[in-house]
């Protein structure tokens, strides 16, 4: 670091390690089962007109399409540059620099804490219980937090939060804090949908994305669903043109009846594949499945995870090490890919277990 950047860099960034995205960790590889992306690359079309004009801040067609899909009123929908931008906007809008705190429940998605750190906001951590349920008593004992981030289905555990637990948290913080339900993987689960509860809980915020089930991680399009006063507050912070014209067009097409039908077919395929891979993994002694199947990935524990990861990486197969997270010692997370990718993963695993003599 030069003397100038050293002198000028915000003090809260001096010790910050940026989010280790799957793309930052590995650039090579042939099979990317490390970022919970979809294996489907769907056809995309864009009109090539009107690019001399700025887009709408919140393109109406897109907002209406998502409102219709999520079954909420349009004034409860904010379109953002991925759900990640929604996380950051919430923190920037509702937490004060070097004074306020957010609450998170690890093991969970890494960006809540990193966004808080980049904004100079403190993070209070209340770990999930051993079965990955919420520790409601410990959460509600925490004073003075502005935002509680919950994730259901949770990344990287693939588990759903218990509905009554979430209601207790929402109720406890009703006049104290926003409770954010990150539903990035909601399409893979049939059970819960917190967007339907916005009328009941004024402090509820729901995060959604087109990056996972809709197979559009490269697009960078997400949605924040909340009551209109919260949406209006977020509009004070958001950039003037956060959704570029081609993004709005492609996203709106993905949210058409045709697009939604295609998404549901692909989710059904990935669910069947997940069942198949889980079945195969459960036959291996030494490999312990962890968490649940409510998303598009499998979390498992394996004592020699470093060696196994190396074997996979050497063969171009990238999955994600989650072992640094609290409660996830020796855990790896594998995204469900295409049938052939999943087969390749299973055969590389077999090969490793056979070679090392650690066979079922
Ligand atoms: C992938 C993911 C996101 C980020 O989604 P983007 O829309 O791609 O920014 C948010 N939350 C969770 C839990 C995720 O796994």
CATH number, position 133 = 3.40.640.10
Q: How many domains does the chain have?
A: 2
Which residue among 215, 240, 256 closes a domain?
A: 256
Does the residue 48 lie in any domain? no
The parent domain of residue 82 ranges over 60-256
Same domain flag for 79 and 164: yes
Note whether 84 and 222 are within 8 A (CB): yes
**What's the confidence (pLDDT) of residue 14?**
85
- The proportion of the chain whose per-residue pLDDT surpasses 70, expressed as a percent, equals 98
Average pLDDT over every residue of 188-217: 94
| Confidence check: pLDDT of 191 > 80 | no
Atom of ligand 1 nearest to the CA of 86: 9
Which residue among 226, 256, 286 closes a domain?
A: 256
pLDDT confidence tier of residue 360, bands split at 50, 70 and 90: very low
Nearest CA to ligand 1 atom 12: 184
Same domain flag for 293 and 213: no
Same domain flag for 160 and 30: no
- Ligand 1 contact, 186 CB (< 6 A): no
Selection from 209, 132, 133 nearest residue 164 by Cα: 133
Does the residue 251 lie in any domain? yes
Per-residue pLDDT tens for 48-93? 888 999 999 999 999 999 999 999 999 999 999 999 999 999 999 9
Which residue among 241, 256, 271 closes a domain?
A: 256
Same domain flag for 84 and 186: yes
Cα-to-centroid distance, 109 and ligand 1 (Å): 8
- Ligand 1 contact, 83 CB (< 6 A): yes
Cα-to-centroid distance, 272 and ligand 1 (Å): 23
200-to-70, 74, 137, 197 alpha-carbon distances in Å: 16, 17, 22, 5
Q: Could you tell me the pTM of the whole model?
A: 0.95
CATH number of the domain that residue 26 is part of: 3.90.1150.10
Average pLDDT over every residue of 169-191: 96
Per-residue pLDDT tens for 270-320? 999 999 999 999 988 899 999 999 999 999 999 999 999 999 999 999 999
CA torsion through residues 60, 62, 65, 71, sign:
negative
**What's the confidence (pLDDT) of residue 303?**
93
**What's the confidence (pLDDT) of residue 28?**
76
Does the residue 160 lie in any domain? yes
Same domain flag for 218 and 348: no
Cα-to-centroid distance, 101 and ligand 1 (Å): 21
Euclidean distance between CA atoms 123 and 163, whole angstroms: 24
Average pLDDT in the chain: 94
Task: Note the residue count of the chain.
Answer: 360
Same domain flag for 151 and 180: yes
Euclidean distance between CA atoms 85 and 221, whole angstroms: 9
pLDDT confidence tier of residue 358, bands split at 50, 70 and 90: low
Mutate to test the pocket of ligand 1, among 78, 80, 82 (most ligand atoms within 8 A of CB): 82
- Ligand 1 contact, 107 CB (< 6 A): no
**What's the confidence (pLDDT) of residue 29?**
79
Q: Which two tokens stand for residue 236?
A: 């004070």
| Confidence check: pLDDT of 26 > 80 | no
pLDDT confidence tier of residue 203, bands split at 50, 70 and 90: very high
């Amino acid at each position: 670091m030069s003397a100038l950047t050293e002198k000028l860099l915000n003090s809260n960034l001096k010790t910050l390690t940026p989010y280790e995205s799957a793309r930052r960790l590995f650039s090579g590889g042939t099979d990317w089962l490390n970022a919970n992306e979809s294996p489907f690359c769907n056809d995309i079309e864009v009109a090539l007109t009107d690019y001399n004009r700025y887009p709408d801040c919140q393109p109406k067609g897109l907002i209406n399409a998502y409102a219709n899909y999520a079954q909420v009123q349009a004034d409860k929908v904010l379109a953002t540059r991925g759900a990640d931008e929604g996380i950051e906007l919430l923190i920037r809008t509702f937490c004060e620099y070097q004074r306020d705190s957010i609450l998170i429940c690890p093991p969970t998605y890494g960006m809540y804490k990193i966004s808080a750190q980049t904004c100079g906001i403190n993070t209070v951590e209340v770990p999930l219980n051993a079965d990955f349920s919420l520790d409601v008593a410990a959460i509600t004992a925490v004073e003075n937090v502005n935002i509680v981030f919950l994730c259901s289905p949770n990344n990287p555990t693939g588990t759903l939060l218990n509905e009554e637990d979430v209601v207790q948290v929402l109720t406890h913080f009703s006049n104290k804090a926003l409770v954010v339900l990150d539903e990035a993987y909601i399409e893979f689960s049939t059970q819960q949908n917190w967007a339907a509860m916005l009328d009941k809980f004024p402090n509820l915020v729901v995060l959604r994305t087109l990056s996972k089930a809709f197979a559009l991680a490269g697009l960078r399009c997400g949605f924040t669903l909340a009551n209109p006063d919260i949406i209006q507050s977020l509009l004070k912070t958001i950039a003037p043109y956060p959704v570029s014209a081609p993004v709005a067009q492609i996203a709106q097409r993905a949210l058409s009846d045709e697009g939604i039908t295609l998404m549901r077919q692909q989710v059904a395929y990935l669910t069947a594949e997940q069942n198949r891979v889980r079945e195969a993994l459960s036959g291996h002694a030494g490999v312990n499945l962890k968490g649940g199947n409510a998303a598009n990935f499998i979390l498992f524990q394996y004592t020699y995870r470093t060696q196994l990861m190396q074997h996979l990486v050497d063969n171009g197969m990238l999955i994600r090490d989650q072992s640094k997270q609290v409660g996830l010692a020796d855990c790896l997370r594998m995204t469900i890919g295409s049938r052939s990718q999943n087969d390749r993963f299973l055969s590389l695993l077999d090969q490793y277990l056979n070679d090392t003599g650690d066979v079922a």
